[in-house]
Structure 1
Amino acid sequence: MSGRTESSADAATGGAIVASPRPRHESGPAEPQLRARAEAVAAAAARAAGVTFAELHTMSEMTQAASLIDRVWRPDNGAAMIPVAFLKVLSGCGGYVVGGFHGGRMVGVCVGLLSELGLHSHIAAVEDPLRGAGLGRAIKLDQRAWALRRGIGTVTWTYDPLISRNAYFNLAKLGAVAAEYLTDYYGAMNDGVNAAGPSDRILVRWDLAGTHVGRTLESGTAVPALDGAVVALGPGPDGRPVLGPRGARRLLIGIPADAEALRVSDPGLAAQWRTALRDVLSSLMANGGRVTGFTRDGFYLVEHPEQKDHV
């Protein structure tokens, strides 16, 4: 699991993630049981990852958190990804500013702010030695329990749709739903992850109390139904994007196995993939196509509404 589970600049600006001091809260008769279960699942994930979580409040904690974020995201313009003072403000305004600790040392951090829908998860960072050890999942499960304790039923965030491991984590492991394709959402981003390229993003919604999320977290992975699926975009023998037909009800949209490495080894090819994915996936989603899953081998599954067809 990468430490980069969120976009590096998930500001709550525009559209469905406009900041609001009064998020819409979800409630229902099963709330106490749901919250208790979420707390138990989060605690188990934290134990498995060997970490404890705590909300951050002091300036010293904010300084540690900001430093950790910068080490992971590597901004190259000399400016911090998130100023220490802004972290303090988010914490003071009731946002999610949480650190993960291992042996008394901060090894992970996640920051979220209240939004119109509930909570918008802004950025996450995990130290190198613990990536892939379950800390990313533990952070999100802690965030889910934190939100449900406050009556918040929806968490949103964005991620780069070209990053396969994050797509798999968000859609297949957490059960979040791709809600919207955002073209060059933040403009050029000068950090060690985005390499100043276009910042296309997918906005996801995580329905914390939803049946799909519950089943996904219980089973460990959401496996999409691929019956009759046709490849509309995939890698050719030379690794370049190849377009296929778009007329089937179920379409598979492929991405590179490691887009971040490709940006370093072949920036031109990485740019081709960005354009191809944008042209296909954003068009399908804008015309009613629903992303219903992501496969382990790097394909989005998109389903058309039955009343529409694409050629």
Structure 2
Amino acid sequence: MTLVAQGVVVRQLTAHADLLATQRLFESIWQGDTPPVTAELLRAMTKAGNYVAGAFDGDVLVGACAGFCSPPAARSLHSHIAGVAAETRGRAVGLALKLDQRQWALDRGLTEITWTFDPLVRRNAHFNLAKLAADATEYLPDFYGDMHDGINAGVESDRLLVSWRITDPVVPRAVTARGAVALDISDGLPVRGSASGTTVLVAVPPDIETLRTTNPAAAREWRHAVREVLGGLLAEGARVTGFDKAGWYVLERSTQ
């Protein structure tokens, strides 16, 4: 299947040259000592019938995504890794990949796609929860352990697991940030508040990636605060219903 969208062509990858280009793209994005995935692993994944796709601007690979299927009864695909070249950000290449992935899964009778993301990265939270309307289902403290790439080195790898129910209409919704503020921001640092009421807000910093470089201590403080507050609310049964552009996770909880 080939999808043409957002000014790029998305297609499944099987040729060794394309899989090697994917490895190199991921290396350029994550900038670690070892590639996040190798061409050999991607080759095995495609041979086993899993999802490996690339987005091309002409002949140039500018984005890629790979995932593997869960046990048959789950009817689910786990999207393990996705990345877009820095020079094409803002062109919705990531959206084109997700639309292709959704169609690939639907064609195979799957009903869900899952993936994880760092809950401190605002743009990813907004894309996943507001634009795609995926559901946040679980907070995973230090999920991958120590990571040694250029993005995650030196910080704990907390992740938020999301579930995208692909058989439901994917209708982005605007979320108005109104409710009890469980975690606020003041002078760049997290400030704990009240989680009373049915609608609860949890702030994240404007740019955690820069903060990790300029103020590692503050970045660690945010990591632990969001883990405690957002993770705690989810553990208590609250449900993430969106992410406001102003920088808030919006949660609904029962007061009973």
Pair in the same fold by TM > 0.5: yes
Alignment of 1:119-198 (within 5 A): 119-198=77-156
Name the residue aligned to 1:235: 185
Select the residue among 223, 229, 235 that pairs with 1:274.
Answer: 223
Contact 1:226 1:250 (8 Å CA) reproduced? no
1:82 aligns with 2:31: no
Identity %: 42
Q: Aligned partners of 2:174 and 2:228: how far apart in 1?
A: 26
Q: Deviations over 1:106-127 (max 9, x none)?
A: 1111001111331000101111
Q: Aligned partners of 1:259 and 1:226: how far apart in 2?
A: 20
Q: Aligned partners of 1:67 and 1:268: how far apart in 2?
A: 32
Partner of 2:23, secondary structure, is helix
Q: Aligned partners of 1:195 and 1:259: how far apart in 2?
A: 13
Q: Which runs of 4+ in 1 moved over 4 A?
A: none
In the superposition, the TM-score normalised over structure 1's length comes to 0.79
Q: Aligned partners of 2:96 and 2:242: how far apart in 1?
A: 21
Partner of 1:191, secondary structure, is coil
Q: CA deviation at 1:224?
A: 2.6
Structure 1 gap segments, 5+ residues each = 1-38
Contact 1:99 1:107 (8 Å CA) reproduced? yes
Q: Aligned partners of 1:176 and 1:74: how far apart in 2?
A: 28
Q: Aligned partners of 2:188 and 2:177: how far apart in 1?
A: 23
Alignment of 1:3-14 (within 5 A): none
The AA in structure 2 aligned to 1:89 is A
1:115 aligns with 2:70: yes
1:222 aligns with 2:159: no
Q: Deviations over 1:227-285 (max 9, x none)?
A: 5x01110111x111111111222110000011011101111100000011011011110
Bigger mean CA offset, 80-89 vs 167-176: 80-89
The AA in structure 1 aligned to 2:156 is P
Structure 2 gap segments, 5+ residues each = none
Q: Aligned partners of 2:86 and 2:223: how far apart in 1?
A: 26
Q: CA deviation at 1:226?
A: 4.4
Name the residue aligned to 2:239: 290
Q: Aligned partners of 2:218 and 2:239: how far apart in 1?
A: 27
Aligned pair count reads 253
Name the residue aligned to 2:250: 301
Q: Larger relative CO (CA 8 A, sep 6+): 1 or 2?
A: 1
Question: Over the residues paired in the alignment, what is the CA RMSD in angstroms?
Answer: 1.5
Q: Aligned partners of 1:139 and 1:251: how far apart in 2?
A: 32
In the superposition, the TM-score normalised over structure 2's length comes to 0.95
Q: Aligned partners of 1:225 and 1:126: how far apart in 2?
A: 29
Q: Deviations over 1:22-64 (max 9, x none)?
A: xxxxxxxxxxxxxxxxx9xx95xx43x2111111112222111
